[in-house]
Amino acid sequence: MPKLPLDEWIEVIVSFLDDHLSGLFSVVSGFIKGIVGGFSYLLHLSPALVLIVLAVALAYYLGKWGFALFAFLGLLLIYNLGYWDHTMDTLALVLTAALLSILSGIPLGIWCAQNKRVRSTLTPVLDFMQTMPAFVYLIPAVTFFGLGVVPGVIASVIFAVPPTIRLTELGIRQVAPELVEAAHAFGSSPSQVLVKLQLPMAMPSIMAGINQTIMLALSMVVISSMIGAQGIGADVYRAVTQVKTGQGFEAGLAIVVLAILLDRMTQYLMKRKKRPQREKQA
């Protein structure tokens, strides 16, 4: 049986897109660079100790003393090891990828929840996005956007957006049909039902999707460093290529601290979202 020339078909498609949509890719590249640059500017604007104090205050507000103590010790350790600036660069990349994933994922999740055809069409696409090895996303990203921070963000968004779409759609569909019917019976429009009933009740599920998206975006940090994305991932990649175990452990520890902080903050935020709903029900 002759082999299907699938690789040649893909190459033709990529070449066609690169030839005819180069202007669009330039606009997207400039837009993403602007967002990353904005986050990076804000994170580097204040001294490290000021940001540590603000992070500790936020950790205390969300999770009390235990989490605040961990935030203080973890961020102080990153500062002491000399990885603060690179960690802020990484955080700018993660925030950009998470922001783009949320802005695109939540509307798509809402659309899937309200339209069965869209859901049946998008589900296999999401399966493909979640099961395809992350390294594969780097190839078209580099082809369209070159080396640097932009292809890293694009690959991170593709890899990280499915949980937000899936859990947004799941949370909205799990809202009791009786409540939706009652809202319509009282004269609420579909948009009012969505904004005032379905989205608030689906918020815990949506926040869980956002949490997973942030973690997946952070997991792409080291992979993105292979195509020129700056940040703590570049230190890990450099340590791997030069077989510097100690340096790799230090940089990896900085990523672990950042991952735990982002994970716990979103989890505590989810819990705070649930409390007002319970109080209303009571």
Give residue-wise pLDDT tens across range 214-227: 888 888 877 777 77
Spatial separation of the C-alpha atoms in residues 145 and 63, rounded to whole Å: 40
Query: Which structure tokens are listed for 142?
Result: 């580099």
**Angle ∠(76,80,84) on CA atoms, nearest 5:** 75
Q: What is the number of other CB atoms lying within 10 angstroms of the CB of residue 18? A: 13
Q: How confident is the model at residue 264 (pLDDT cuts 50, 70, 90)?
A: confident
The pLDDT value recorded for residue 277 is 53
Q: C-alpha 171: how far from its chain's center?
A: 19
Tens of pLDDT, residues 212-259? 888 888 888 777 777 777 788 788 878 888 888 888 888 888 888 888
Tens of pLDDT, residues 133-143? 777 777 777 77
282 pLDDT more than 50: no
Q: Which residues of 241-269 are buried (b: 16+ CB within 10 A; e: fewer)?
A: eeeeeebbebbbbbbebbbebbebbbbbe
3-state secondary structure of 187: coil
Contact 38, 88 (CB under 8 A): no
Candidate from 112-121, 150-159, 263-272 with smallest mean pLDDT? 263-272
Contact 173, 199 (CB under 8 A): no
